[in-house]
Amino acid sequence: MSAEAFNPYRMAQQQFDAIAEQLGLDEALRALLRAPAREYHFNIPIRMDDGRVRIFRGFRIQHNAARGPCKGGVRFHPQETADTVRALSMWMTWKTAVVDIPLGGAQGGVICDPHDLSLREQEALCRGWVRGLVGNLGPDRDVPAPDVMTSSQHMLWMLDEYEVLTGGHAPGFITGKPIGLGGSLGRMESTGYGVIYTVREALRELGLRIDECRASVQGFGNVAQHAIELFQSYGGTVISVSSWDQKEQTAFTFRKQDGVDLKQLRSITNSYGEINREKALDAGYEVLPGEEWIEQEVDVLLPAALENQINRDTVKGIKKCVRIIAEGANGPTTPAADAVIREKNIWLIPDFLANAGGATCSYFEQVQSNMNYYWTKDEVIAKLDTKMTDAYFAASRMAHRRDISLRDAAYLIAVARVAEACAMRGWV
């Protein structure tokens, strides 16, 4: 699958088909699970600040709700496609199942570039998205959350619009809300921390000390920043991060061989995770082409940007010293690259396991919102650590027992749980 031909939905189906074959699922179950249950495509008319009316295309795709209400993010991205949303909704079904939380999978998005929109226009887009879907969302039906280029502020606008349209308060309608307005402590850290909890356990299994390991990270958004934070707190060294440059329309890799200074990088980074190149140069960072994050001499690679980043071409740049790849992003590795990684004897922690911390903490937030009772940050983080560690070891034990990849093991666990729920409900 070349970069030009890459289609995330076809990749998600290809991954599912292989697991369905191993599980021996009957044809009805395969047909039910390899495609979304429902799709909503709709137009969102917005009056812009200059008086023009622009039409934006919105999506919400619900893959499966056999184990509980659908759950999934909302992306604002100029390259958003229906197939990307379909793939993400399917991966979310497996993600919630592999960590054994009672939710299903969904995903949403709007084709737009928030860089080009004022806050008022973004608010109107959030409210328009909810208006287009209000009858198909809700705490017991489908619970959105932030994703690429959306934030707690976007979630709060969506919550407010939902409450205006339905009457009353429904804080469990959406997660990723601001603290003090229904949000959960620990939610911001959860995805990045969850990635490192799985890395921590994988390194222990490999007999490696985290405080002697070096890592390279692709991306510098919320997931990457908190993954770096926890990795460094355990004594690990991050030597490079990559970041998108909106002005240049390309990515750059920022490297310091003795370790990046997270606090310093955050101080020269905008709200979209874009590091200021000139200020980084002044701070002593080497600025390299964006793709060179994958070519560093490190023990751990953390792709935490977008899909299709480790493919047939880029996988060739991975050095022999790399022991672990932990997928902080959704769908960063293609099946062709997966096969090469296995040949290189690299332990790959798949996306729907590695980055399940966000979905897990979203579930915690939903529970707290519905109860109107909130936990301390230490409680949330401790529960997150337990969930992620348990899920990792369940998959790891199966992988070693069957001599299969960790991705296949995690898939076997997740798909079997969802298939069993569908069968027990009498859907097939």
Q: How confident is the model at residue 240 (pLDDT cuts 50, 70, 90)?
A: very high
> Please, what are the domains in the chain?
36-172 (3.40.50.10860), 188-349 (3.40.50.720)
Q: How confident is the model at residue 306 (pLDDT cuts 50, 70, 90)?
A: confident
For the whole model, what pTM was predicted? 0.92
Cβ atoms 176, 152 nearer than 8 A = yes
Instruction: Give whole-number Cα distances, 189 to 192, 240, 357, in Å.
Output: 6, 20, 9
Render pLDDT for 245-289 as a digit per residue (tens, 0 to 9).
Answer: 888 889 999 999 999 999 999 999 998 889 999 999 999 999 999
Query: How much is the pLDDT for 2?
Result: 43
Render pLDDT for 18-29 as a digit per residue (tens, 0 to 9).
Answer: 999 999 999 999
Residue 35 has pLDDT above 70, yes or no: yes
Q: Where are the alpha helices (DSSP H) in 206-268?
A: 222-233, 262-267
**Which of 109-113, 147-151, 304-308, 332-336 is predicted with the least confidence, judged by mean pLDDT?**
304-308
Give percent above pLDDT 90 in the chain: 94
List, as own/partner pairs, every contact residues 149-152 make where C-beta atoms lie below 8 angstroms and the sequence separation is at least 24, other chains included: 149/75, 149/76, 149/77, 149/114, 149/272, 150/73, 150/74, 150/75, 150/76, 151/176, 151/271, 152/176, 152/177, 152/178, 152/183
Burial 279-308 (b: 16+ CB within 10 A, else e): ebeebebebbebbbbbbbebbbbbbbbbbb
Report the distance separating Cα 265 and Cα 55, nearest Å.
Answer: 37
Instruction: Give whole-number Cα distances, 318 to 198, 269, 345, in Å.
Output: 21, 27, 12
Token digits of residue 322: 């790399």
Query: How much is the pLDDT for 3?
Result: 43
Residue 307 has pLDDT above 90, yes or no: no
Nearest residue to 59 (alpha-carbon basis) of 109, 128, 124, 132? 109
Nearest residue to 383 (alpha-carbon basis) of 398, 363, 405? 363
Q: How confident is the model at residue 209 (pLDDT cuts 50, 70, 90)?
A: very high
Render pLDDT for 352-381 as a digit per residue (tens, 0 to 9).
Answer: 999 999 999 999 999 999 999 999 999 999
